[in-house]
C-alpha cells in the first residue's frame, strides 16, 4: 500500500498559533511517501527502509513497544524540564518507528507475517515545510490501509499529533491538519476554516536548514516573548492577509507579508543573512518572509515565501540560495 501526504506552507501566523492566534496555511505539492509491503525475516518483524536518512533496520513488534515506552518516558522528562528536546529521539528514523507502533496499538492491529515500511520525501527536511507531519501521516495512512482499517481522519490527526510532539516539543496541530486535509485554511486552537487556495504568484526560496530546531525556536520565543502583546499584532496581520487572498488583492497581500516579516524580526527568528535577502526582495518591489519556525542561531532560516512579479533567480544567486517550485495542493493524505 502506498500513501502520500503533502507538505505545508504557513502564509502567516507561525509562532503566534502556539498562543491561540490564527495561522493561515496551505498544502503544497511536495509530498512524503510511505509504502507498506509484506516481508520480513520473522512473523512479527517490521523493517524500516529510509533511504533519505540512510537507515535500514528491522525490529520485532515487542521491541517497538519497548522503544515506545522509552520514548514516552523521555518525553515526560522533557516536559518536566529534565531532558533536552534533542534527547527525546536518538535519530530521525525513530520518529517513523514511533508512528508505526502508535497506529498499530491504537487500532489494535496484529503483525502476523512481517511487513516492510519504505519512506521517501520530496519535502526539504527541517526547513519549515511540514516534512515531519507529512512523513508521519503517510506512514499512518499506509499502515491503516494495509490492515484494511476504515479511514477516520480524527484518529489519524490524534496519532499524528502524539508523534509530532516528539520532534517539536509542543505541536500546534496546524502541520498535521493541513497535511491531513490539503487545501488552504485558517487554523486556530485545533479548529480550521477552509478557504480557497491562493491565486496570487507565490514563490519559495530555500535558505538552508536552520541550526536550531523548531522546538528550540518555539522554546526561545516563549522565554523572550511568551507574555508579550505582539501576538495580537500577528493575529491582525493574519486576518488581513486572509482578506487579501479572498479578494485576490495583490497590493494588500504584499503589504501584509512585509508587516509579518517585521514582526518575525522582532521576535528574533529571522537571521541577519536572511533579512538581507528579504531587503533585496523588497527593494525589487516584492515581499518575503520565513514560513516556518525560522532560527534563533546560525545564518540559515529554512524556507522563505516570496511574493514578487519579476524573476527571483538573480536574487537567489546573489545570496547563494535555491528557488523551489511549488503549487497549492487541494488534496491531503491519501492512498495512491
Per-residue confidence (pLDDT) for residue 7, from 0 to 100: 96
Query: For position 147, what pLDDT does the model report?
Result: 92
Burial of 230 (0-12, 13-18, 19+ CB in 10 A): middle
Q: Is the pTM of this model over 0.75?
A: yes
pLDDT tens sequence for the chain (336 residues) = 899 999 999 999 999 998 999 999 999 999 999 999 997 666 789 999 998 888 889 999 999 999 999 999 999 999 898 988 889 998 888 999 999 999 999 989 888 888 999 999 999 888 889 999 999 999 999 999 999 988 889 999 999 999 988 887 877 889 999 999 999 999 998 889 999 999 999 999 999 999 998 888 988 999 999 989 999 999 999 999 999 999 999 999 999 999 999 999 999 999 999 999 999 999 999 999 999 899 999 999 999 999 998 889 999 999 999 998 899 999 999 999
Identify the pLDDT of residue 314. Answer: 94
Q: 3-state class of 63 per DSSP?
A: helix
Buried b (16+ CB within 10 A) or exposed e, 142-171: bbbbbbebeeeeebbbebbbbbbbbbbbeb
H or E element that contains 27: strand 23-38
Give the whole-angstrom CA distance, residue 50 versus residue 34. 10
pLDDT at 297: 94
Cα–Cα distance, 229 to 232 (Å, whole number): 6
Q: 332: phi > 0 → left, psi -120 to 50 → alpha, else beta; which?
A: beta
Instruction: Give the CA distances from residue 152 to residues 82, 161, 165, in Å, rounded to whole numbers and listed in that order.
Output: 36, 15, 21
Distance from C-alpha of 32 to C-alpha of 10, rounded to nearest angstrom:
18
With a CB cutoff of 8 Å and minimum separation 6, the contacts of 81 are: none
Cβ neighbours of 280 (radius 10 Å): 16
Question: In this predicted structure, what is the pLDDT of residue 127?
Answer: 84
Predicted pLDDT at 40: 62
What pLDDT score does 298 carry? 95
Amino acid at each position: 500500500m502506498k500513501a502520500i501526504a503533502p507538505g505545508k506552507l504557513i502564509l502567516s501566523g507561525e509562532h503566534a498559533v502556539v498562543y491561540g492566534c490564527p495561522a493561515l496555511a496551505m498544502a503544497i505539492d511536495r509530498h512524503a511517501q510511505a509504502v507498506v509491503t509484506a516481508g520480513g525475516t520473522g512473523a512479527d518483524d517490521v523493517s524500516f527502509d529510509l533511504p533519505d536518512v540512510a537507515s535500514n533496520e528491522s525490529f520485532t513488534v515487542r521491541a517497538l513497544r519497548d522503544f515506545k515506552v522509552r520514548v514516552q518516558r523521555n518525553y515526560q522528562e522533557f516536559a518536566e524540564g529534565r531532558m533536552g528536546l534533542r534527547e527525546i529521539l536518538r535519530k530521525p528514523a525513530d520518529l517513523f518507528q514511533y508512528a508505526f507502533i502508535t497506529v498499530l496499538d491504537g487500532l489494535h492491529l496484529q503483525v502476523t507475517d512481517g511487513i516492510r515500511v519504505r519512506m521517501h520525501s520530496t519535502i526539504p527536511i527541517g526547513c519549515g515545510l511540514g516534512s515531519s507531519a507529512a512523513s508521519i501521516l503517510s506512514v499512518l495512512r499506509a499502515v491503516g490501509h494495509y490492515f484494511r482499517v476504515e479511514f477516520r481522519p480524527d484518529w489519524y490527526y490524534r496519532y499524528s499529533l502524539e508523534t509530532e510532539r516528539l520532534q517539536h516539543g509542543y505541536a500546534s496541530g496546524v502541520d498535521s491538519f493541513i497535511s491531513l486535509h490539503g487545501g488552504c485554511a485558517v487554523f486556530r486552537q485545533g479548529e480550521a476554516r477552509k478557504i480557497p487556495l491562493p491565486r496570487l504568484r507565490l514563490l519559495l526560496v530555500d535558505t538552508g536548514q536552520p541550526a536550531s530546531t523548531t522546538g528550540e525556536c518555539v522554546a526561545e520565543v516563549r522565554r523572550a516573548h511568551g507574555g508579550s502583546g505582539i501576538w495580537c499584532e500577528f493575529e491582525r496581520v493574519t486576518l488581513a492577509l486572509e482578506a487579501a487572498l479572498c479578494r485576490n488583492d495583490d497590493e494588500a497581500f504584499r503589504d501584509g507579508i512585509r508587516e509579518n516579516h517585521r514582526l518575525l524580526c522582532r521576535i528574533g527568528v529571522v537571521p541577519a543573512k536572511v533579512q538581507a535577502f528579504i531587503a533585496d526582495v523588497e527593494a525589487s518591489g516584492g515581499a518575503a518572509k520565513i514560513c516556518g519556525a525560522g532560527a534563533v542561531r546560525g545564518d540559515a532560516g529554512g524556507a522563505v515565501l516570496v511574493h514578487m512579479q519579476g524573476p527571483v533567480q538573480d536574487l537567489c544567486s546573489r545570496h547563494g540560495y535555491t528557488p523551489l517550485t511549488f503549487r497549492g495542493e487541494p488534496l491531503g493524505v491519501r492512498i495512491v
